[in-house]
């Protein structure tokens, strides 16, 4: 496979999808496939805040990783292009870019401006991932209107829809893709099912990149994003008794799940990354009461120092969400240093540039 015959024009692959749909997992699985073929990948992650679990996770797997923080790609497009230029210095064949999971209008605000620089990069079709469980929840009559709005808009602008987590949902229907009028595929980053086929399709297929420009009410878009609470936490823990990453993270997630549920706060995406001298562990869940998906060194030995990151996206009051997280941390006996906790609702999106595709 020769993706970059002239050594000058890397692919830019943008992978969107709602919070918890598995974007980073797919990107890392694809990066490993490319590496096995002697090709180099880089990853650019995006968030409203700092201290990202997914960045630490990608770095732990040896993938060249950078961030665009403080706003979504559309609002930080100039920064996105700066970071693309920075990673290009490492000569990657493919640059994966993952926008914020609550972000939409990517075709006009990212693909549109990128299209003007297609001489510098080859831009792949826009893939939007769909978690079948989330799709089912948002299709019901009692679905939250704000989340449903964001979810549907993401589907509407996709060039290709991929139903993720096929290992958990082998019989998931393909109705979201049909509703959006685009191609639909199934894949699993965990088992590898469909990942190579997806790469082949977006890099060598005939799909057009960024072909659908949305008509979107930005006031409604801003209200929908503001309904979410964003919490990013980093802390250094020295427990009173040495503990393994698994036995630190497991009870913490259980306690958070229980406390948030009791307060009537819906978890949209909760993920944590713990690094200790004996190993690392990442755990994530996408709903109250859900069993976490865990990666890393499950058998790591107890350690006396842990560097913990926690990212929580929830439907609730930021002050209340922050208090609950702080209370759960206080239950961990021992010292806590260099703690940083940011908890907020996202500001209204204000794209740097919006380049609508000409109607044919």
List the CATH code of the domain at 11-224.
3.40.50.300
Q: Is the confidence at residue 109, as pLDDT, over 80?
A: yes
pLDDT, mean of residues 243-271: 97
Helices 53-60 & 23-36 angle (0-180, nearest 10) = 20
Q: Is the confidence at residue 181, as pLDDT, over 70?
A: no
Cα–Cα distance measured from residue 360 to residue 345, given in angstroms and rounded to the nearest whole number: 38
List the CATH code of the domain at 229-344.
3.30.70
Q: Could you read off the pLDDT of 280-305 as tens digits, one per residue?
A: 999 999 999 999 999 999 999 999 99
Name the residue ranges covered by the structural domains of the chain.
11-224, 229-344
* Cα Dmax for the chain: 66
Beta bridge partner(s), residue 56: none
pLDDT, mean of residues 329-342: 93
Both tokens of 255, joined, read 């306690």
pTM above the 0.85 mark?
yes
Cα–Cα distance measured from residue 61 to residue 280, given in angstroms and rounded to the nearest whole number: 11
Q: Is the confidence at residue 183, as pLDDT, over 90?
A: no
Q: Is the confidence at residue 349, as pLDDT, over 80?
A: yes
Report residue 279's pLDDT band, with 50, 70 and 90 as the boundaries: very high
Q: What is the DSSP string of 267-335?
A: EEEEEEEEEETTEEEEEEESSTTPPPEEEE-TTPPPBS-EEEEEEEEEES-HHHHHHHHHHHHHTS-EE
Q: Could you read off the pLDDT of 122-180 as tens digits, one per residue?
A: 999 999 999 999 999 998 888 999 999 999 999 999 999 999 999 888 876 554 444 44
Cα–Cα distance measured from residue 325 to residue 323, given in angstroms and rounded to the nearest whole number: 5
């Amino acid at each position: 496979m020769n993706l970059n015959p002239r050594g000058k024009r890397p692919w830019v692959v943008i992978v969107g999808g709602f919070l918890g749909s598995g974007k980073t997992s797919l990107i890392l699985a694809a990066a490993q496939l490319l590496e096995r073929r002697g090709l180099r990948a880089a990853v650019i992650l995006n968030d409203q805040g700092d201290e990202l679990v997914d960045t630490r996770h990608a770095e732990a797997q040896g993938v060249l990783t950078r961030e665009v923080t403080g706003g979504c790609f559309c609002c930080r497009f100039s920064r996105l292009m700066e970071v693309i230029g920075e990673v290009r210095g490492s000569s990657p064949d493919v640059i994966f870019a993952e926008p914020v999971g609550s972000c939409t209008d990517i075709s006009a605000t990212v693909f549109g401006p990128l299209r003007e620089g297609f001489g510098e990069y080859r831009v792949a079709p826009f893939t939007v991932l769909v978690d079948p469980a989330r799709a089912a929840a948002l299709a019901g009559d009692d679905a939250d209107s704000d989340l449903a709005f964001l979810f549907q808009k993401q589907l509407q602008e996709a060039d290709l829809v991929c139903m993720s987590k096929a290992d958990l949902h082998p019989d998931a229907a393909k109705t979201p893709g049909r509703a959006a009028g685009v191609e639909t595929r199934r894949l699993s980053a965990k088992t590898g099912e469909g990942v190579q086929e997806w790469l082949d399709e977006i890099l060598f297929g005939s799909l057009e990149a960024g072909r659908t420009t949305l008509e979107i009410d930005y006031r409604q878009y801003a209200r929908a994003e503001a309904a979410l609470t964003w919490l990013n936490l980093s802390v250094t823990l020295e427990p009173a008794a040495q503990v393994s990453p698994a036995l630190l993270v497991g009870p913490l997630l259980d306690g958070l799940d229980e406390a948030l549920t009791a307060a009537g706060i819906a978890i949209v995406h909760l993920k944590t990354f713990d690094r200790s001298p004996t190993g690392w562990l990442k755990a994530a869940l996408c709903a109250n009461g859900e069993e976490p998906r865990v990666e890393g060194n499950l058998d790591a030995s107890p350690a006396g120092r842990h560097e913990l990151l926690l990212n929580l996206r929830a439907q609730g009051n930021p002050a209340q969400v922050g208090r609950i997280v702080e209370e759960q941390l206080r239950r961990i006996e021992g010292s806590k240093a260099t703690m940083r906790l940011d908890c907020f609702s996202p500001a209204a999106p204000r794209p740097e540039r919006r380049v609508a595709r000409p109607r044919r």
